[in-house]
Homo-oligomer: A and B are copies of this chain.
Amino acid sequence: MPAPLVPDAQLRVVGLTPTPQRRAVLALLIGRSRPLTAQEVHAELNHSVQHIGLTTVYRALHNLADAGLLHTFELDGQRAYRHCDTAPHQHLICTRCDTVTECPPDIVTSWLTELHQHTGFTPRPDRLDVKGICAACAST
């Protein structure tokens, strides 16, 4: 399997100019399982040494999401962003701790086919969201 790309390389791959701000936003999101809102990203980055404008955070998140590097979620009525695999996958969203885990697609494909046959509805495999309780929360 390929080595995970550092923020800089990921930006280049999708054709975005790597700037310090975009790098910082992307780096903050990489490895997080819980989506973050623009406000949260802005706050966290500014709590560390670097300064970054709120507007820039909003624009960077838009850019990265448009490029497919981030997926968007709705957290308490606000838009939140998570760094996701570019390969197809489904989202398992914990309503207790808000973390999102990616579900390998082979678990759902056959079911989606069945769903289509029963209902005539054509599901988009990458837009399947399952909410519930994650394993970590369930064990506490």
Evaluate whether A121 and B95 lie within 8 angstroms (CB atoms) in the complex, with A79-B77, A115-B103 already known: no
**Contacting pair A134 B121 (CB below 8 A):** yes
| Chain A window 63-85, contacts with chain B (Cβ cutoff 8 Å), 1 for yes, 0 for no | 00000000000100101000000
**Contacting pair A122 B107 (CB below 8 A):** no
Which residues of chain B are within 8 angstroms of A122 by Cβ–Cβ distance?
Answer: 132-135, 138
Total copies of this chain within the assembly: 2
Residue A118 is within 8 A (CB to CB) of chain B in the complex: yes
Q: How far is A111 from B118 in the complex, measured between Cα atoms in Å?
A: 14
The chain A residues found within 8 Å of chain B, CB to CB, are 74, 77, 79, 92, 94-95, 101, 103, 107-108, 111-112, 114-115, 118-124, 127-135, 138
> Which 3 pairs across A and B sit closest by C-beta, in order of nearness?
A120-B135, A127-B131, A123-B132
Q: Give 26 pairs: A residue, B residue, CB < 8 Å, sorted on A.
A: A92-B121, A95-B127, A101-B119, A103-B115, A103-B119, A103-B121, A107-B115, A107-B118, A107-B119, A108-B111, A119-B135, A120-B134, A120-B138, A121-B133, A121-B134, A121-B135, A122-B133, A122-B138, A123-B130, A123-B131, A123-B132, A124-B133, A127-B131, A127-B132, A128-B131, A129-B129
